[in-house]
Amino acid sequence: MSHDFDLLVIGAGSGGVRASRIAASHGARVAVAEEYRVGGTCVIRGCVPKKLLVYGSHFAEDLEDARRFGWHIEAKRFDWPTLRDNVAAEVDRLNGLYQNTLDNNKVTTLPGHARLIDANTVEVDGKRHTAETILIATGARPFTPDIPGAEHGITSNEVFHLPTLPRRMVIAGAGYIATEFAGVFHELGVDVTLINRSDTILRGWEPALADRLLQISLAKGLNFKLNCRLERVEKTETGLVLHFTDGKTMETDVVLWALGRVPNIEGLGLDDVGVALNEKGAIAVDADNRTNVANIFAVGDVTDRVQLTPVAIREGHSFADRQFGEKNWHVDYSAIPSAVFSNPPLGSVGMTEAQARNAFGQVRIFTSDFRPMKNVLAGRNERALYKLVVDAATDRVVGAHMIGPDAPEILQAVAIAVKAGLTKAQFDDTMALHPTMSEELVLMR
Ligand code: NDP
């Protein structure tokens, strides 16, 4: 039986757009359904606008440091609507580019919420479409806690659109999103308090780096309330009052939930078609991204494996190549670099010291703990920390972790070396590039 489309993708985010474009380039007739805006979380309300806010907020410190470099800028004033609206305009521009990409590749966009009717039929906004193959790429959304008054809080979806800058903000969580927005809003002059259920920030990251971020953040004046449990949020005339299980309370103006993200599976009709979920409530897929229903596939955050944009993009690309291009390749999930755009930022690739000890037994650890040259002249007492983890038996560098200015930019290049399996001796053989921060990577003895 001939279907309306060869491929119908649900979700026009990073994974869905890439899969659509590549499948279309292989000659497939492709449609993509999207209920919000083409571009997905990363472009519309994630990585991209967040990074622009990080740039915008960092001027606060740059302008302060400029004085020690001879620059006197007297009339310093920050205007939130200018930054907010310029970021929104850039998001609009990128949204347009993503739509152009789909149009130029002859991918049909179906605006509206999509729901599976059967294994080959999808209903979008009341209209039914059939397809030989279906790809679910609906991503994830912020988790909000199940406590009274949670609705008074906002998530990373709304934070980009704040009408005014609050005087006080509580950020619940201590992972990527919490630490990134804590840095942004503190720099913009907001009194930020980060609260978390455990005493750990950035769980899973090299503990020495997470601890360095905590120490620097405390020195900058951010507040932390760790090991605490929130019971309810009460809205009062003067703001929001947080009630903790130990009986303590605190008042704030905005609460931002940054407690992880959950797969977007609601209203997709997965039950009706029998698409199975895994124990985390995400769509279960095999190595080919295939669900338990033979012609239905899933990529990206809705499968909750590695919640990173470049991973979703590559999954979408490899899926489309395999299904429609006769190119049989799979995503390599080893040594995926990642960064936290906190202030200062972190970058990491490969194993932490603890993971390497578990895997190899004997490891050698090299660290460089230094004050970047710019910070010295600026009188800024913030130290960078780099750490290399080496498998003692083979001399291979199996992990690189950094916190300090531009750490994510530097880390991307180091990730090539770690991925390629280079040895510590090969790092040492490389001539330093002086004066840079990254030269530390080849000078650790
Ligand atoms: P994270 O998983 O990074 O952090 C979640 C935080 O919330 C942790 O501090 C955790 O505490 C706490 N937490 C989790 N569940 C609960 C709960 N039920 N009640 C109370 N506290 C809870 O999540 P984010 O929301 O910050 O980010 C989601 C994902 O998005 C990231 O994991 C990352 O993959 C991706 N992302 C990547 C970015 C980047 O690449 N720069 C930027 C933003 C997001 P504890 O540690 O104590 O368990």
pLDDT in tens, 29-77: 999 999 999 999 999 999 999 999 999 999 999 999 999 999 998 889 9
Distance 257 CA to ligand 1 centre (A): 10
CA distance 65 to 60: 9
Looking at the fold, whether 176 and 192 belong to one and the same domain comes out as: yes
Mean pLDDT for 231-246 is 97
Q: What one-letter code names the amino acid at 375?
A: N
Looking at the fold, whether 170 and 319 belong to one and the same domain comes out as: no
Average pLDDT of the chain? 97
Distance 266 CA to ligand 1 centre (A): 21
* 282: its two tokens: 């995400």
pLDDT for residue 205 is more than 90: yes
48 CB less than 6 Å from ligand 1?
no
Distance 52 CA to ligand 1 centre (A): 20
The answer to whether residue 189 sits within a structural domain is: yes
Looking at the fold, whether 305 and 356 belong to one and the same domain comes out as: no
Beta bridge partners of 255: 170
The CA-CA-CA angle for residues 313, 319, 320, to 5°, reads 90
pLDDT for residue 211 is more than 70: yes
Per-residue pLDDT, 75: 86
Looking at the fold, whether 255 and 266 belong to one and the same domain comes out as: no
* Residue indicated by tokens 């978390």: 196
Q: Tell me, yes or no, if the pTM score tops 0.85.
A: yes
Catalytic residues: 434
Per-residue pLDDT, 335: 97
Looking at the fold, whether 133 and 176 belong to one and the same domain comes out as: no
Query: Which structural domain range is residue 367 located in?
Result: 338-442
Per-residue pLDDT, 1: 63
310 CB less than 6 Å from ligand 1?
no
Looking at the fold, whether 154 and 225 belong to one and the same domain comes out as: yes
197 CB less than 6 Å from ligand 1?
yes
The answer to whether residue 333 sits within a structural domain is: no
pLDDT for residue 84 is more than 70: yes
Looking at the fold, whether 31 and 133 belong to one and the same domain comes out as: yes
Looking at the fold, whether 211 and 312 belong to one and the same domain comes out as: no
Instruction: Kindly give the residue spans of alpha helices, DSSP state H, lying in 335-381.
Output: 353-360, 373-378
Looking at the fold, whether 220 and 154 belong to one and the same domain comes out as: yes
* CATH number where 156 lies: 3.50.50.60
**Ligand 1 site-directed mutation target among 43, 44, 177, 194, most atoms within 8 Å of CB:** 177
CA distance 139 to 311: 12
Distance 202 CA to ligand 1 centre (A): 8
* 341: its two tokens: 């755009």
The answer to whether residue 330 sits within a structural domain is: no
* 156: its two tokens: 């990373």
Q: How far is CA 148 from CA 155, 230, 248, in A?
A: 16, 10, 16
Last residue of a domain, one of 236, 259, 282: 259
Structural domain count, the chain:
3
**Ligand 1 site-directed mutation target among 146, 147, 176, most atoms within 8 Å of CB:** 176
Atom of ligand 1 lying closest to residue 179 CA = 26
* 363: its two tokens: 């490891």
Looking at the fold, whether 16 and 119 belong to one and the same domain comes out as: yes
CA distance 137 to 9: 7
Distance 174 CA to ligand 1 centre (A): 7
262 CB less than 6 Å from ligand 1?
no
Last residue of a domain, one of 282, 299, 324: 324
Looking at the fold, whether 106 and 30 belong to one and the same domain comes out as: yes
Give the pLDDT confidence of 168-198 residue by residue, as tens digits: 999 999 999 999 999 999 999 999 999 999 9
pLDDT for residue 338 is more than 90: yes
Per-residue pLDDT, 82: 98
